[in-house]
Amino acid sequence: EDQVTQSPEALRLQEGESSSLNCSYTVSGLRGLFWYRQDPGKGPEFLFTLYSAGEEKEKERLKATLTKKESFLHITAPKPEDSATYLCAVQAGGKYNFNKFYFGSGTKLNVKP
Amino acid sequence: AAGVIQSPRHLIKEKRETATLKCYPIPRHDTVYWYQQGPGQDPQFLISFYEKMQSDKGSIPDRFSAQQFSDYHSELNMSSLELGDSALYFCASSLESGDTQYFGPGTRLTVL
């Protein structure tokens, strides 16, 4: 069964304290892995797309990496404005479900000044 | 840059009433997705359309229906509303079917 699991569920960091969020997946034929940031009551904001193992992408303090089983979102020297829920979504391959995205339950990040 | 537009942003309905949510995708995007997000939950995929035809179906109740029109905007019709339908409803669009999805700001539906 296709599944996406994110850990930890919640993470509290001090400003400047680097850490990583994990997204592990079991899907039949990964076509893409997506990271989103979501603020309360707002739509998910697109961050990164990763397509193949070994791929890395960076944007400001964020860096996403992908292996065959999981993805990491590394946050370097976070600031309070990085506080949000970070969602991972996986697009499964296959003949009948290539349009379906599976979301993880998210990691709620709280960065204290 | 233009983003996904959803209307209305907030909607309050009584039980058993009907509701229609609208989604206007990013220009040139031909694929639209609908999601339901309950409090503290991740978005749950409902249904998607590609080039005006339904392309995939998720956990959409039979009371709900949707379509995509010739201008690529989409509408989600919800009938016989229940208290449990109260949630944020997001629409997302992508340039091609299976490409990165960009989300709208959502419609908050409250069923009383």
Q: pLDDT per residue over A57-99, tens digit each?
A: 999 999 999 998 999 999 999 999 999 999 999 987 655 555 6
**Cβ contact (<8 Å) for B98 and A103?**
no
**Chain B residue whose CA is closest to A50:** B100
| The predicted structure's pLDDT at residue B96 | 74
Q: Is the distance from CB of B23 to CB of B111 less than 8 angstroms?
A: no
pLDDT greater than 70 at residue B58: yes
Please give the pLDDT value at position A99.
Answer: 61
What the block records as the tokens of B6 is 């959803």
Closest partner residue to A100 (CB to CB) among B50, B56, B103 is: B56
Tell me the CB-side half-sphere exposure of residue A34, using CA atoms within 13 A: 23
Q: What is the pLDDT of residue B57?
A: 85
| Residues on chain B touching A101 (C-beta within 8 angstroms) | 33, 45, 101
CA distance B18 to B97: 29
- Per-residue pLDDT of B9-45, as tens digits, reads 999 999 999 999 999 999 999 999 999 999 888 899 9
Can you tell me the distance from the alpha carbon of B19 to that of A74, in angstroms, rounded to the nearest whole number? 41
Q: What's the CA gap between B81 and B15, in Å, rounded?
A: 5
Instruction: Indicate yes or no: CB of A99 within 8 angstroms of CB of B31.
Output: yes
Pairing of the two strands A45-50 and A56-59: unpaired
Contact yes or no for B66/B48 (Cβ under 8 A):
no
